[in-house]
Each structure stands twice: as C-alpha cells, then as structure tokens.
Amino acid sequence: MMMIKPIIISGPSGGGKSTILAKAMKEYPDAFAFSVSHTTRKPRDGELDGQHYYFVEKSEFERMIKDGEFLEHAQFGGNFYGTSKKAVQDICNSGKICVLDVELQGVRNFKKAQFEAKYIFVRPPSMEVLENRLRQRGTETDDSLEKRLKHAKEDLLAVENESTLFDVVVINEQLDKAYSDFLNAIRSELDVFIQKRSDKEMNMASSALKVFGETSTYLPPLPALRDFIKIYRLNADRALSQNYLMDMNLSRKMVRCAGDLKNCHVIEVGPGPGGITRAILEKPCLRLDVVELDRQFIPALEHLKHHAQDRMFIHRGDIMQTDVGGIWEEAAATKCDWMDQNPPFSLIGNLPFHISTPLIIKYLFLFNFMKNILRLMRSISDRTGPFAFGRVPMMFSFQLEVAKRMVAPLGSDFRSRIGLTCQNWAEPKIMFDIPGKCFTPQPEVSVAFVRLTPRLEPQIPVAFEVSNKVFRVLFHLRRKYLRKVVRLLYPEPMLDDMADDLLRHCRLDPTMVVPMLDMQNFAEIMPGLFLYDHREPVEMAELAKHPFPFPPVYRRPVDALERIENKGLNLNEFDAAFKETKFWRSKKEQQNKEKEERRRQELENQNNQIQTDHYYENPRRLNDKTPCRTGLEISVTTITKPESLPLGLGFW
C-alpha cells in the first residue's frame, strides 16, 4: 500500500492557509496532525511543552544537529528552530497525515534534504487583497503591517521565480474554491488514509469475532461512516432537507429505542448514507427493506447490502408513493392480531423535515390512500396497508418543536392539530432529543426522536377524515371564541343554528378557546359533523352504525328523511332533501317574513325623511334656484353663500 506523504504548506500571513487547514481538520477530524518543532527559546504564557513546541536547551539542540536528527533547522532572532525526523515519523506511523506549516526558507531546506512530501503554497490573488485582509484583522500596527507586506511580496516573487519549489499553488480568492483545490491536491493522501483506517477497523473487528465468537455481530466490518461518505462522494442536498447523523452511537441509540428487532421485518425510510441502516443490521432482524429516493445513495446502500447476508433489500422511490404493506406481503410476512403487544414489524426513519408531518398523517391514520370515507372506515376496521400486520410501532425523527406538539398536553402552548391527531390514533413519546450540531450539514433546529405506537382503539370513535377536518378548522383560529370557530364547520344557510345547537348539545361554553378543549369535548363534537367532511357518496347503512348519524339540528322526525333510500348520498343531495321538509319550509317562511318586515320598516323610514328639492347651484348665480339639468342632484335644506370659493370649483 502507498505511504502517506506529509504535507508541507506555506504562504504569507493573511493568505488563508490556516483557515483552509482548519476547515479540512473539521471535515476530517482524525486525518491530520501537526508536526511539533523544537526550539531553544523560552516558552511564552500558555505554551505547553510537546504541544506548541519541544523546548530544549541550546546545547541539546546543537547535539541533535550534530547527530543529524533534524530534517531542517534555522536560526531566527537568536533562537534555533527545527523539525525533527522522529516527530514526523511518529505521525506517519500513526496513520495520520503529517502537516508542516513552514516559512519559505524552511521549504527550501526540505527540498535541499530531498524530503519526500506534498508541497503546497497558498497565496492571495493580489497584494491589495492581502493588505485588506490584514487590516480587517485589526491586530497589526502600521509597522508590523508594512513588514508583513514586504515579506509577503518577497515570497510571492520568489515562488514565481522558483517554479519547481511547490507541487501546487492554491490561489485563495474565494474560500470554497480554494478549499476544493486544496482537497484535490491531497486527494491521494486522503484516499490512502481512509483505506488504512478501514483496514485497521476491519482487523479490530475480526479480532473481536475471534474473541467473542461470530454470533456477537450481524454485520461484517465496514469502513467508518464518515469515510464511507467520502468514498462514495455523497453530498447532502439542502433542497431535500438532507442531514446526515454522523455519530453511530446516536444511530444505535435510536435503533434501541425502536424496540427489540430480533426476527423482525424492518422498513427504514430515507436511509441516506446508511448510518441507521448499519445500526439496524447490527441487530438480529429477519429482514430490512430500505426506501430511498435519492439515486446518489444507492451505490453506498448496495455496498451495505452486499455485506448484509441477504437480509437487506433496496427500494428506490418516494416513501409517499410506496406501498409499505405490499413490501411485507411480497416478503410473505405473517400477519399479527391487532391485540398483539409486540408485532415483529417496525418502521424507522431519520426523515427530511419537509416530509415528516405528511408521512405521519399518511401512515399513522390513513393507513392507506383512501378515495372516500367508506374505504377509510373499512381500512380502520380491517387494518389494511402496513397495519394489516398488526399495531406496527414507528420510530421517526422530527424537528423538536414538532415533536413537542405531538405530545403536548391540555393547556400547553404547543397543543395543535398534529398533536391531537397523534394522540387520538397513537401513543407518541419523545425518546430523546439532540442538537442540530450532531448532523451534517448542521440544521438550524434541534431534532427529537419520537416513538409512536398505534392504539387499540382511537380515543374519538369517528373516521379520520372527520377528526382531521375538525382539528384543522378549529386550530386555524385557535385564539378565537369557540362559537365563531365552530361556525366554519357548517355550510350556509344553517351555520348559526347548527353551531348554537351543537354547543348546547355538547354543553360547551361558547367563549372557550380551542386549545382548552380536551379529547372528550372533541369526541362529543365530531359525531354530528360526519356528513360535513366531504362531497363523496355515503351509504345510509354506514351512517346508521354511528351513534349520531346526522348533525344535531337534523336529529328530528322529518318526513323527507323517511323517503331517503339506502343509496349513496352526498352533502348537496342531503341539503336538497332536507329543504323539502316541513321543518325547513316553515323555517324558510319565517325567514321570508322577517325579511319582508325589515324591508317594510326601511321603506317607512325613508318616507318619514324630509323631502327636499334638488337644485343646480352655480357660483355666479347663488341666489337663483334653478332645477338641476345636469344629472347631478344635491339634496340640501338650506343654502348659504360662502365668503369665497376656490377658483375653478363648478359645484358647491
């Protein structure tokens, strides 16, 4: 295997070499190590021996020179500085990339000693840019700034004249471009480092297998996740809200919180580079199916599949369009009874934030894509879709604020539509939360991992479409009085009567606000709103199964309802049928009478008004009273000539 060459980097102060190195060491935290130089000067405040320099006496330094222990050495300001062969060799033996930040004279000394390394020079695009950067630091006096600029100008000129001094010259005009050029320059060293570390981890894992036995793991040794991402050149797409969880300990913790996966069928949503996938495969699960939309992750997932011993299957597609139940049906999985506490199935995912909520809406409660309320009710009673296999638990990641809404109790500021929906159909629980800095790239929000277990029965025994609409409409005006909000659930022209009737029937204070309603309050409201959720046909036989098949105002012996046969009926047809009843006709007649009475009163008030003549008033003939002939009528009771009129005003 190739040896890792040390990197010798040089450049003027303000050129950006320190910034580029810091960025590289952050992205590859275990890849680089600085060589510690020897010096004869005294340590300054805060400097530690062996960390900043090796502080030695002058006699010791001279002995090391005599014995040939230095790769290069020089004298500055009466003190000696040098880079020892042993310091560089120790870093190379550790498997890391040795970095030496040296002055131009030191580079010449290394070249003279024929030291094999990658020589990189980082320079600014111009002296003007360099001067601006140094001034922006605010750490230089006029004298020191002048000296640095003079020294930098000499170095830049020397590099131009000595074209063979450096292997690569990086022009730092734009940091991202310069950083990319730097990584490309050391790509071969990085690849060797990654391969060496992977081999080391595989050897350690193989040794562990010999000690503990092959049954101690269910996944062969693999490259570290961070190296895995570098090998396959994986990039997080911010447009898709992709964030990598790099810490395998957190990935394993998430999988542990998902429950016992022994002999389980597991579906992972959005595996990305495969961190959580690894944690799942480390468990003795029977089968793992991953659903991934982004094609860039497929080769990396194929790598994991190759080592998963026929337990892993990849499905490329959008989870919102994927039939999860169909995947388990194809795998010939055995369905469990809904009463079973621990079905051998699980849904897990570190989801992009923009699909977390709609996915929960789909999987938690719809259980499938339903075209009408009849199919939805049957899917709940028959447990279709993925939940045909039992009360499948789910473990998903959410924004921390969304997670708090999902578990918010009565009176909480986080109480919301999504929270009540979750609590109605499942038991949500925040298992743990982590800051955004644990992800790459770092999101602006913290993240929580939530476990959701479907309930045996929903707390509110109505169809999902009904509860979803009520929660959505009511929480749209969460701070308004209840009477004003409830009116939005009903169509014209009956909304006032029906809203008042509903509140009386449910014994609710009209001045309450929505967040103060508990599940029992919603349970009393929703049955009467069954018909007002959709426009698709609903069979009367299905309505009859509900304790309140019709809204409260309709629960009375009206003759039109007796003539409705057992057929599909939508809201418009029901309203039309209701308007044929004696109750509606009498109500309509009463409304017409009230309308006529209001109109009669308005006419009477108009007749009692003072009748006035209409005149055309000209500023030149204010004393004349000529009837208006221009079509403009001005009703006046008295006319008073003003003292003066604005010029050009034709009417007064």
Q: Which residues are annotated as a binding site for S-adenosyl-L-methionine?
A: 243, 245, 270, 292, 318, 350
Residue 284: HSE in the Cβ half-sphere, 13 Å Cα cutoff: 7
Taking the CA atoms of 402, 403, 407 and 413 in sequence, report the sign of the dihedral they define. negative
Task: Enter the DSSP assignment of 481.
Answer: B
Beta bridge partners of 118: 7
Cα(first)–Cα(last) distance of the chain, in Å?
102
Q: How far apart are CA 415 and CA 421, in angstroms?
A: 11
Kindly list the strands in the beta sheet with 345-349, ordered across the sheet, starting from the edge strand earlier in the chain: 312-316, 287-292, 265-269, 345-349, 394-399, 447-454, 426-434
Q: How far apart are CA 400 and CA 403, in angstroms?
A: 5
Q: How far apart are CA 114 and CA 111, in angstroms?
A: 5
Determine phi and psi for 376, rounding to 5 degrees: -60, -45
CB 486 within 8 A of CB 499: yes
Task: List all residues 6 or more positions away from 512 whose beta carbon is below 8 Å from its beta carbon.
Answer: 481, 482
Taking the CA atoms of 471, 475, 476 and 480 in sequence, report the sign of the dihedral they define. positive
Q: How far apart are CA 60 and CA 78, in angstroms?
A: 16
Query: Which amino acid type is present at position 466?
Result: V
- Helices and strands in the chain, H and E counts: 25, 22
Instruction: Give the ranges where 571-647 is alpha helix by DSSP (H).
Output: 571-578, 582-607
Query: Which amino acid type is present at position 269?
Result: V
Helix 187-212 vs helix 175-185: crossing angle, to nearest 10: 60
Q: How far apart are CA 2 and CA 422, in angstroms?
A: 56
CB 626 within 8 A of CB 639: no
* DSSP result, 200-262: HHHHHHHHHHHHH-GGG-SS-----HHHHHHHTT----GGGT--EE--HHHHHHHHHHT---T
Determine phi and psi for 392, rounding to 5 degrees: -70, 120
Strand pairing report for 426-434 and 447-454: antiparallel
Determine phi and psi for 315, rounding to 5 degrees: -125, 115
Token pair for residue 387?
């939940």
Indicate the burial class of 55 (C-beta count within 10 angstroms; 0-12, 13-18, 19 or more).
middle
CB 316 within 8 A of CB 295: yes
Residues within the annotated binding site? Answer: 243, 245, 270, 292, 318, 350
Q: How far apart are CA 499 and CA 400, in angstroms?
A: 36
Q: How far apart are CA 329 and CA 49, in angstroms?
A: 66
